[in-house]
Amino acid sequence: MQGTTRRTDRAFRAPRRRRLLDSLSARNPRSARTWAAVALVVTILTNVVTGAAGSGGVPVPELCAAAALTALSVVLLRRRVDRVGPLIVLAPLAGVLAIVWLDLVTRDASVTGQVFFIVPVVWAAAQLRVGGAALVTAATIAGEGVVVWTLLEPQRAVTDFAYLTVLLLLVSGVLNRSGAVQERLVEQLRQQASIDPLTGLWTRRVLDRATARAVERRAGEASLVIIDLDRFKTINDTYGHLGGDAALTHVASLLTGRCREGDLVARMGGDELAVLMLDCPRETAACRSQQFVDVVRATPLRLPDGTLVPLSISAGLASLSPTATRAEDLYASADAALYVAKRTGRDRLSAA
């Protein structure tokens, strides 16, 4: 019983951890990684130049900070984009620590010493999701507090801390809000490009990518069946375009209802649909494709006025083979099989 309880607790904690990690991650890891390295390098160069100008040489603290931030920049740029994840939030936090350390070592709480606190906040608000931006902003405000309360008189420390805190919060809030809106709009555009608005199936773009991956990786036994709705022009001419749309939606629903979770059902365009079946032996794929043909024949479309419209499909099936080295090869084989089915009387399956 205790073991079951512990497993349940872990099951509940896992989604929470994933949500937390997602909130700390970058909206665009590639862009975040690049701009993090740029921000660190700019901070390094500025500190080295100002330190050299002020003392006639590069002080040891600036050299230490430059070495540490340079190493972090190299690590970020060499790390694979898909493995950056929430670790990207360490870059601005390291920047905050470096700024605090340099200000304390050089006892510089002037405007030139404090202005660098804006850099990690601007970067985090522009690149990270809300959790990461909030964490970096809070760490920056805390670092600013350490500097001013350590180096300045209380009255001036209160004034500087209040002004910079308000500025950092405003910058973080405005930039993060703008980034969140942009991310939401991009996601909406991505969905519109991936989902066919009429049938709710995946688009040709998604099917092309999935088929190309299956062919390149030789992903087990994969098969592609291309499906054409028989006499679709006659349906449009008889029942209007709304009737044609209803027929496509009806067939799409029948196909989706008989597919596994890992199958990809897509609309290729017009009245042409496709199903990509991964990890499916050729014999099984042929049996399932025949079931698609049978269920469409056995399930006529019922129009709003009660009219029953008999439907049928022609299907062409092709499976991965040693000669299929590109997605185009699999498409060509399935398409050739489809035309055989149509030439030999429609309402049937033909396998390449």
- Residue 11 — pLDDT band, cuts 50, 70, 90? very low
Of 202, 206, 199, nearest to 245 by C-alpha is 199
Selection from 111, 98, 108 nearest residue 143 by Cα:
98
Long-range contacts made by residues 109-114, C-beta under 8 angstroms, separation at least 24? 109/147, 109/148, 109/150, 109/151, 109/152, 109/160, 112/50, 113/147, 114/144, 114/147, 114/148, 114/160, 114/164
- Among 90-94, 96-100, 189-193, 233-237, top mean pLDDT goes to 233-237
| Tokens (6 digits) for 287 | 């049996």
What percent of the chain is modeled with pLDDT above 90? 43
Whether pLDDT at 275 is above 80: yes
Whole-number Å distance between alpha carbons of 332 and 90: 49
Residue 128: pLDDT band (50, 70, 90) is: confident
The residue-averaged pLDDT of 75-97 equals: 74
* Average pLDDT for 345-352: 91
pLDDT above 70 (res 61): no
Model confidence pLDDT, tens digit, residues 33-42: 777 777 777 7
Measured CA to CA, the distance from residue 148 to residue 163 in angstroms comes to 12
pLDDT of residue 145: 93
Bridge partners, residue 202, by sequence: 195, 266
* pLDDT band (50, 70, 90) for residue 44: low
Band of pLDDT at residue 58, cut at 50, 70 and 90: low
Average pLDDT value for residue range 107-128:
85
List of long-range contacts for 293-300, beta carbons under 8 Å, 24+ apart = 293/347, 293/348, 293/349, 295/254, 295/258, 296/251, 296/254, 297/347, 299/250, 299/254
Query: How many CB atoms are located within 10 Å of the residue 103 CB?
Result: 25
Rounded to an integer, what is the distance from CA 184 to the centroid of its chain? 12
Catalytic residues: 271
Tens of pLDDT, residue by residue over 327-345, are 888 899 999 999 999 999 9
Residue pair 117/164 in contact by the 8 Å Cβ criterion: yes
Which range, of 184-188, 230-234, 292-296, averages the lowest pLDDT? 184-188
What is the edge-to-edge ordering of all strands in the sheet holding 349-351?
264-269, 272-277, 223-229, 313-319, 349-351
Please give the pLDDT value at position 272: 95
Q: How many CA atoms does the CB half-sphere of 13 hold within 13 Å?
A: 6
Q: Going by C-beta distance under 8 Å and a sequence separation of 6 or more, which residues neighbour residue 127?
A: 26, 27, 28, 31, 32, 35, 36, 88, 179
Q: Which of 46-55, 105-114, 195-204 has the lowest mean pLDDT?
A: 46-55
Q: Which pTM was predicted?
A: 0.57
- Rounded to 10 deg, the angle between the 118-127 and 130-151 helix axes is 170
Cα–Cα dist 285/259, whole Å: 11
Report whether pLDDT(255) > 60. yes
The full set of domain ranges for the chain reads 2-193, 204-351
Which pLDDT does position 78 carry in this prediction? Answer: 73
**pLDDT value at residue 147:** 92
Read off the pLDDT band of 56 (50, 70, 90).
Answer: low
Q: How far apart are CA 144 and CA 103, in angstroms?
A: 10
Give yes or no for a contact between 198 and 245, defined as CB atoms under 8 angstroms apart. yes
Distance CA 239, CA 11 (A): 52
pLDDT at 273: 96
Residue 140 scores a pLDDT above 50 = yes
Pick the closest to residue 350 from 305, 319, 306, 318 (CA basis): 318
Positive or negative, the CA dihedral 252, 256, 257, 259 is positive
Q: Class of 204-351 per CATH?
A: alpha beta
The pLDDT of residue 352: 82
Q: Give the pLDDT confidence score for residue 297 in this predicted structure.
A: 95
